Amino acid sequence: MPTKTSDSWIQDTLRQGFEHLQAARLDAAGDCCRRVLEAKRDLPEGHFLVGLIALELDQRRTAIEAFGSVTKLRPDHGPAWAHLARLFMQVGQPARADQALEKAVEHEDGNPVVHDLIGLVHTQLGDDEEAYAWHNRAAAAEPKNVAIRVNHANSQMFVGRLEEAEASIRAALKLQPGNPNAHWILSGLKKAADRQHVNEIERLIATGVYPPKALTFLQYARGKELEDLEEWDAAFAAFDAGAKAKRQTLSYDEGKEKALYASLESLMTEEWLSSEPHAGCDNDSPIFIVGQPRTGTTLVERIITAHSEVHSAGELKQFGNALRRLTGYAGPTRFSAELVTDAAALDCRKVGEMYIETTRKMAGNTPRFVDKLPSNFLYLPLILKALPKAKIIHLQRDPMDACFSSYKQLFADAYPHSYRLDEMARHHVRYFKLMQLWRERFGDRYFEIGYEDVARNLEVNARALIDFLGLYWEDSCLQFHQQKSAVTTASAVQVRQPVHTKSIGRWRRYEQQLAPVREILKAAGVPEVRTASSQAR
C-alpha cells in the first residue's frame, strides 16, 4: 500500500479531486486539494485544482492566487495563464490581463480548453472576430465538450451567425440535455411560438437541484419565453427567481458606488475640463454612445453604423482600461472613487492616445467608429478631455422601462445593481442625477436623444443623429437591421429586426410588481417619461 507522501497516492487523490469537481462535489474536491498540497506544496496541478474550485464558487481573489501559484511553479502552464487573463479582465486589471493573455498564447499547446479561454478573453476585450476564430478552433478540436460548444454558440451569435448558433446549441443539448446555459441561449435566439421549450425548462427546474448560477440561467430562460407567450405574471415570477439566484453570486457594494458618484461630481468640474483646453488627443474617429443598458443604445449604434463611413466596434472597455493601465489601478472592482481620483490627474493626451491605439484593431477601415459601451456615461468628462474631437451621444429611455428591461436581462459580467428592484431603482436615481449634472456642466458638448422618439419617428431622428456627426445622409441608415456585423450585447438578436414600438411602456404589464421601483424614482424626482430629443447646443 502506498505511503501518504508517495507519488501514486498524490496522483490518485488529485485525480479524485478533478472527478469531484466535474460532478460538482466542491467540498470533496476541496478536501482532496488540502490533502495533496499538505503532502506536496509545490505541486502545480494541486494549485490549479484550487483555482478551478474557486471559479465555481466565484471566489476570484482565491482563483487569481491559485493560478498565479501555478505560473510561478510552471511558467509554461498555458491553461493557468489563460484563466488569469480572463480573471484580470473581470476585475478590471487590463494591464495584467494583457501580459497573461500573451503568455497564454505563447504557451498554448493545442489544448482546446485554452483556445476556448483565449476566445472568452478576446470577447471581453471587444474583439469579436478574433474571439470567434479561437472558439472555432476549440469547437473543431473537441466537438463533444459541452462548455466549448456553448461558448462557440455565443460567439456565433455575436458575429451574426444565428442559424449556426442554434445548430451549435442544439448539438450541445443533445450531449447534455439539461445544460442550463444552453437552454438560456436557445431561449434568446428566437421568439417562443409555443410552450414546448418552456415546459422542458420548467420540468428541469422542478426535478433538479441547482447551484445559484445554473438556476439563474434556467429562470431567465423561462421568464423570456413566458413573456414571449404573454404569460405576464408567470414571466415576472421567473425573472424574480432568476434575479434572486444571480444576486447570491455577486458582491455588489452600494456604498462604494455612492462614493464613486460623489468623486465624479466633485472632481469632474467645468474648471477641471477647461484647465488644459488643447491638451487632448485630436483624433476625431470615435463616436461614443452612452447611457443605461437596454435603453436603445444598440438601436442607435446600428442606425449610425449603417452609414458607409462608420464602423461598429461594439461595446469596448478600452477607455476605462486606458485609465486603469495609466494609473496602475489594481482595485478589486472595475469602477471606484480611487480610480476616478487618480484618473483626474492623468495626462489626458496619453489617455486619448492609448484609447486610439488599443481600439485600432476593432475600429475598422472607415473614418469613424462607434464605441457603444453604455457605462462610459461615467467617464463623459474624461472622454471630452482626452478626445475633444470625439462625438458623444447620450441615449435616454423612460426610467421604468429602463429599469425593468435591465432587471429581466441576465448580463454576463456587468451591472451588479440590476438584480434587486430597490438597488436597481437607487442606481437609476444616481445615474439620472449625474447626467443632470453633466448636462449643466457640459451639455453643449454632446447630443441627447430619446429611445421612444427614435422608435416612433425613425427617419427624423436618424437624420438628426447623422447631422450631429457631421456626415452626409445615406438611406441605408433606415435599413440598419440588414447589417451583418457583430453585436456583442444582450440585443444581439433583436437588432437584426426592423425598428418597432412594442417595448415602449412594457413595464406597465408588471405595474404591481414594479411598484417599489416607481416609488423610489418618484420620491427622488425622476420623471417617468423622457422622450424629448435635444440637439447639442
| Phi, psi at 408, each rounded to 5° | -90, 5
Q: Find the mean pLDDT for residues 374-390.
A: 97
Give the model's pLDDT for residue 204.
Answer: 96
- Per the model's pLDDT, the better-predicted residue between 41 and 479 turns out to be 41
Residue 221 corresponds to which cell in the numbers above?
Answer: 430562460
110-124, 192-206, 227-241: which has the minimum mean pLDDT?
A: 110-124
Give 477-491 pLDDT, tens digit per residue. Answer: 988 776 655 444 445
Q: Find the mean pLDDT for residues 201-226.
A: 95
The answer to whether the beta carbons of residues 86 and 117 sit under 8 Å apart is: yes
Sole residue written with cell 421612444: 452
Query: Collapsing DSSP states into helix, strand and coil, what is residue 353?
Result: helix
Give 269-300 pLDDT, tens digit per residue. Answer: 999 999 876 789 999 999 999 999 989 998 99
224: pLDDT strictly greater than 90 = yes
Give 238-251 pLDDT, tens digit per residue. Answer: 999 999 999 998 88
498: pLDDT strictly greater than 90 = no
Band (505; pLDDT cuts 50, 70, 90) = confident
Residue type, 182: A
115: pLDDT strictly greater than 60 = yes
| Phi, psi at 185, each rounded to 5° | -65, -45
Q: Which CATH code fits 254-523?
A: 3.40.50.300
Query: Collapsing DSSP states into helix, strand and coil, what is residue 312?
Result: strand
Residue type, 173: L
The answer to whether the beta carbons of residues 282 and 353 sit under 8 Å apart is: no
C-alpha distance from residue 332 to each of 18, 90, 323, 335, 524 (Å): 28, 10, 15, 9, 30
CA atoms within 13 A on the CB side of 35: 20
| Angstrom distance (rounded) from CA 439 to CA 433 | 10
Residue 511 corresponds to which cell in the numbers above?
Answer: 405595474
**Domain ranges within the chain, ordered by starting residue:** 179-249, 254-523
| Angstrom distance (rounded) from CA 123 to CA 470 | 31
Q: Read off the pTM.
A: 0.85
